[in-house]
Copies of this chain bind each other. A is one copy, B any other.
Amino acid sequence: MTVVVGIPASGVGEPRSPIVGDVVKKLTALGAGVLIERGATDASFATPASLGDVAWADSTAEVVAGADVLWTINGLPADAEAQLRPGQVLMGLLQPYASAEHAQTLADAGVTAFAMELLPRISRAQSMDILSSQGAAAGYQCVLIAAARAPKFFPMLTYAAGTIRPSRVLVIGAGVAGLQAVATAKRLGAIVHGYDVRPETREQVESLGAKFVDTGVSAAGEGGYARELTDAERAQQASALAKAVAESDVVITTAAVPGRRAPLIVTRAMLDAMRPGSVVVDMAAETGGNVEGTVAGKDMRVGPARVVGPVNLPGRMPVHTSEMFARNLFNFTAPMIVDGALAIDWSDEVIAGTALTHRGRVVHDGVARALGLE
């Protein structure tokens, strides 16, 4: 029996769709069929012609009924979820830590749900890493948002009556998104500083041509983990960071902790010390914010600064983020398709580590513990 990969329409406000023509071809080459809800790719600008040899469904219900594996951006709406069958496979950014009730509902339905946020961050799994691919887009977009709102040029500009000095951009958090923000701000010609509590990121920041904010404090501990800082060290770190913020025209914060509230890094006092017209973009706005006073979805004046809390940054560039999302899901799904049929190898640590629910249980230990479902 041929495995069918189904793509229901994404919800309102989500322009991405996890399918593109190239990935359809790859699925077909593995012997899988592809079933797409009509209109699902309109907002990601993939025309039916570009998708090639696929079957079309008229509703989400029809996709759920006809597919063995469901590819989604953010999971399914409740009514479609209620329709899922035991053994059916659901993939996407399912927000595994968000609700015990939701995880239990998926388990009770007998669904094999893969929450891509749980993907083990080992090197073999990098090509499946949706948080990374979408994070790169988010970091890029943060810089465009900041540059468009800044009352200054980013690059140095020499004109007939003088020279404009380049803007100073500080990027806090040097994960995939932060590093992409550093790279993009550098491209635009700004003077860029990067910062992360993990001192081992210094080299990555510097390799992009940016300077690393030196707080004079190293949190490097044994075995590559960060150690607890003393109160004096913490104060020294905060004061160095406050100075870097005050000297910047633009601050971009990208510090997120999966499954937890984002850490507060830029305080109101730090904002108040910025120059009038400064711009702060808080990439973590949706998970509580790295900046005091951020509101997700708002662009507000806070003291002398403009604080922007953008939501769904990867959704702003759905052509490329859908393409990346589809490739990541394909790389994760391909090993499960053998001779056109679904064959999940549970001894594979990448597959097992990403599973949220399977055969009636919440199978991810970390999530079960965090949600009190043990």
Chain A positions near chain B (C-beta within 8 angstroms): 15, 44-45, 47, 126-129, 132-133, 136-137, 140-141, 144-145, 147-148, 150-153, 155, 157, 159-162, 164, 184, 187-189, 275-277, 316-320, 323-324, 327-328, 331
Contacts and interface: CB of A to CB of B under 8 A. Distances in A.
Contacts of A318: 151
B162 A327 contact: yes
User: How many subunits of this chain does the assembly comprise?
Assistant: 2
A44 to B, nearest CB: 7
Interface-central residue, A44, A133, A161, A318, by most chain B CB under 10 Å: A161
A137 B153 contact: yes
Contacts of A127: 160-161
Given A150-B317, A164-B324, A317-B152, A159 B133 contact: yes
Contacts of A145: 148
A316 B279 CA distance: 13
A300 B152 CA distance: 27
A147 B319 CA distance: 13
Q: Which of A15, A44, A151, A319 has the most chain B CB atoms inside 10 A of its CB?
A: A151
Contacts of A160: 126-127, 129, 132-133
Most buried by B among A47, A126, A141, A144: A144
Contacts of A316: 148, 151
A129 B160 CA distance: 8
A318 B318 CA distance: 32
Given A127-B160, A187-B188, A147 B144 contact: yes
